[in-house]
Chain A
Amino acid sequence: MNTNAAIITVKDLNVNFYTNQRCNRVINGVSFEIKRGRTLCIVGESGCGKSVTANAIMQLLPELSRIEKGSITYHGSDGDIRIDQLDKNGKEMRKLRGKDIAIIFQDPMTALNPVYTVGFQINEMLQAHNPRMSRKSATEKSIDLLKDMGIPLPEQRVNEYPHQFSGGMRQRSMIAMAMACAPRVLLADEPTTALDVSIQAQIFELMEELKTKRDTAIMLITHDMGVVAELADEVAVMYMGNIVEFGTIEDVLNSPAHPYTKALLKSIPVLGKGKTQKLDPIRGSTPDPFSRPKGCQFQPRCDYACKECEVQMPDETLVNGIHRVMCFNYLEVLENGK
Chain B
Amino acid sequence: MVSYILRKFLHLIPMLFVISFLIYLGIELMPGDAVDFMISPDEMATVSAEALAQMRSTLGLDKPFPVRYFIWLGNLLRGDFGYSLQSGVAVSTLVMNTLPATLELSVAALLISTLAGSFLGVFSALRKNSIADNALSIAGMIGVAIPQFLFGLIAIIVFVFNLGWFPVGGRMAPGQEAFLQRFEYLVLPAIVLGLSMTAGVMRYSRASMLDSLNRDYVKTARSKGLPEWRVNLVHGFRVACTPVAVLIGFRLPMLIGGAVVIEQIFQWPGLGVMFLGAVRSQNTPIVMMVGFFSVLLVLLASIIVDILTAILDPRIKFN
A binding-site residues for B, Cβ under 8 Å: 58, 60, 89, 93-99, 102-103, 105, 107, 110-116, 121, 124-125, 128-129, 161, 163, 174, 177
* Cβ contact within 8 Å between A60 and B315: no
A-B contact count (CB 8 A): 71
List residues of chain A with CB within 8 A of the CB of B225: 93-99, 125, 128-129
**Contacts A58-B223, A89-B228, A98-B225; is A115 near B216 (CB within 8 Å)?**
no
**What B residues does A161 contact at CB under 8 A?**
314-315
Q: 18 additional contacts, CB 8 Å, given A111-B219, A113-B239? A: A60-B223, A89-B222, A89-B227, A93-B225, A94-B225, A97-B223, A98-B224, A105-B216, A110-B217, A111-B217, A112-B220, A114-B314, A115-B313, A124-B224, A128-B224, A128-B225, A174-B220, A177-B224
Question: A107, A124, A125, A177: which contacts B216 (Cβ < 8 A)?
Answer: A107
Pair A111/B222 contact, Cβ less than 8 Å? no
Chain A residues within 8 Å of B312, by CB? 115
Contact check, A115 vs B227: say whether CB atoms are below 8 A apart.
Answer: no
Contact (Cβ within 8 A) A60 B219? yes
The answer to whether B217 touches A113 (Cβ under 8 A) is: yes
Whole-angstrom CA separation of A115 from B220 in the bound complex: 14
Give B169 Cβ to nearest chain A Cβ, in Å: 45
Residue of A nearest to B128 (CB): A63
Q: Is B265 in the interface zone, CB < 8 Å from A?
A: no
B224 cross-chain contacts in A, Cβ below 8 A? 97-98, 124-125, 128, 177
Is B206 part of the contact surface with A, judged by Cβ < 8 Å?
A: no
Tell me the bound Cα distance from A277 to B216 in angstroms.
39
Nearest chain-B residue to A89 (Cβ)?
B228
- Is A113 touching B222 in the complex (CB atoms < 8 A)? no
For residue A55, which residue of chain B has the nearest CB? B219
Q: Is the CB of A115 within 8 A of B314?
A: yes
Which residues of A sit under 8 angstroms from B314, Cβ to Cβ? 114-115, 161, 163
Tell me the complex Cα distance, A94–B314, Å.
29
Q: Known contacts A115-B239, A115-B312; decide if A110 and B215 are in contact (CB<8 Å).
A: yes
Residues of chain B within 8 A (CB-CB) of A105 are: 216, 219-220
Which B residues are CB-close (under 8 A) to A95? 225
Chain A residue at minimum C-beta to C-beta distance from B231 = A89
Q: Are B227 and A94 in contact (CB under 8 A)?
A: yes
CB neighbours of B228 from chain A (8 A): 89
Q: B313: which A residues are within 8 A, CB to CB?
A: 114-115
The docked-state distance in angstroms from the alpha carbon of A161 to that of B314 is: 7
Looking at the assembled complex, report how far the CB atom of B310 sits from the nearest CB atom of chain A, in whole angstroms.
Answer: 12
B238 adjacent to chain A (CB < 8 Å) = yes
Q: Are B235 and A94 in contact (CB under 8 A)?
A: no
The residue in chain B whose Cβ has the minimal distance to the Cβ of A91 is B227
B contact residues around A60 at 8 Å (CB): 219, 222-223
B226 within 8 A of A: yes
* Chain B interface (Cβ < 8 Å from any Cβ of A): 215-217, 219-228, 235, 238-239, 242, 312-315
Closest to B217 in A: A113
Indicate if the CB atoms of A113 and B220 lie closer than 8 Å.
yes
Smallest Cβ distance from B235 to chain A, in angstroms? 6
How far, in angstroms, from A99 to B216 measured CA to CA in the complex?
Answer: 20
Interface centre among A103, A112, A113 (most CB of B within 10 A): A113
A residues near B315, Cβ cutoff 8 Å: 114, 161, 163
Q: How far is the CA of A89 from the CA of B223 in the complex (A)?
A: 10
Complex A-B, nearest 7 residue pairs according to Cβ-Cβ distance, in ascending order: A97-B225, A98-B225, A113-B217, A110-B216, A94-B225, A98-B224, A161-B314
Q: Using Cβ atoms and an 8 Å threshold, which residues of chain A touch B215? A: 110
- Looking across the interface, which residue of chain A has its beta carbon closest to that of B220? A111
Which A-chain residue is minimally distant from B221 (CB atoms)?
A: A113
A-B contacts, 30 listed (Cβ < 8 Å): A58-B223, A60-B219, A93-B225, A94-B226, A94-B227, A95-B225, A97-B224, A98-B224, A103-B223, A105-B219, A105-B220, A107-B216, A112-B217, A112-B220, A113-B217, A113-B220, A113-B235, A113-B238, A113-B239, A114-B313, A115-B238, A115-B242, A115-B312, A115-B314, A124-B221, A124-B226, A128-B225, A129-B225, A163-B314, A177-B224
- A96: chain B residues at CB < 8 Å are 225
Cβ B217 vs Cβ A97 within 8 A: no
Q: Which B residues touch A174, using CB under 8 A?
A: 220
A171 to chain B, nearest CB (A): 12
Give the distance to chain B from A180, nearest Cβ to Cβ, in Å: 9
* Bound Cα distance from A111 to B226, whole angstroms: 15
Q: Are A97 and B216 in contact (CB under 8 A)?
A: no
Query: Of the candidates A97, A102, A107, A115, which one forms a contact with B222 in the assembled complex, judged by CB atoms under 8 Å apart?
Result: A97
Complex Cα distance, B314 from A123, in Å, reads: 19
Select one of A97, A114, A128, A177 contacting B239, CB under 8 A: A114
Most chain A CB neighbours (cut-off 10 Å) among B217, B223, B313: B223
B residues within 8 A CB of A116? Answer: 238
Q: Which residues of B contact A110 (CB under 8 A)?
A: 215-217
Q: How far is the CA of A103 from the CA of B221 in the complex (A)?
A: 11
A112 contacts which chain B residues (CB < 8 A)?
A: 217, 220
Closest Cβ of chain A: how far from B42's Cβ, in Å? 68
Query: What's the minimum C-beta distance from A189 to chain B, rounded to whole angstroms?
Result: 10
Docked Cα-Cα span, A297 to B57, in Å, equals 96
Q: Which residues of B contact A103 (CB under 8 A)?
A: 223
A121 partner residues in chain B, CB cutoff 8 A? 220
Report Cα–Cα, A99/B242, bound state, in Å. Answer: 32
In the bound complex, CA of A284 to CA of B239 (Å): 43
B contact residues around A94 at 8 Å (CB): 225-227
Complex interface: chain B residues within 8 A of A163 (CB): 314-315
Shortest Cβ distance from A151 into chain B, in angstroms? 18
- Nearest CB of A to B284, in Å: 48
List chain A residues, Cβ under 8 A from B221. Answer: 113, 124
Chain B proximity of A88: nearest CB distance (Å): 10
Interface centre among B224, B238, B239 (most CB of A within 10 A): B224
**Smallest CB gap from A178: residue in B:** B223
Min distance, Cβ B111 to any Cβ of chain A, angstroms: 24
B238 with A111: CB separation less than 8 A: no
Chain A residues contacting B235 (CB-CB under 8 Å) are 113
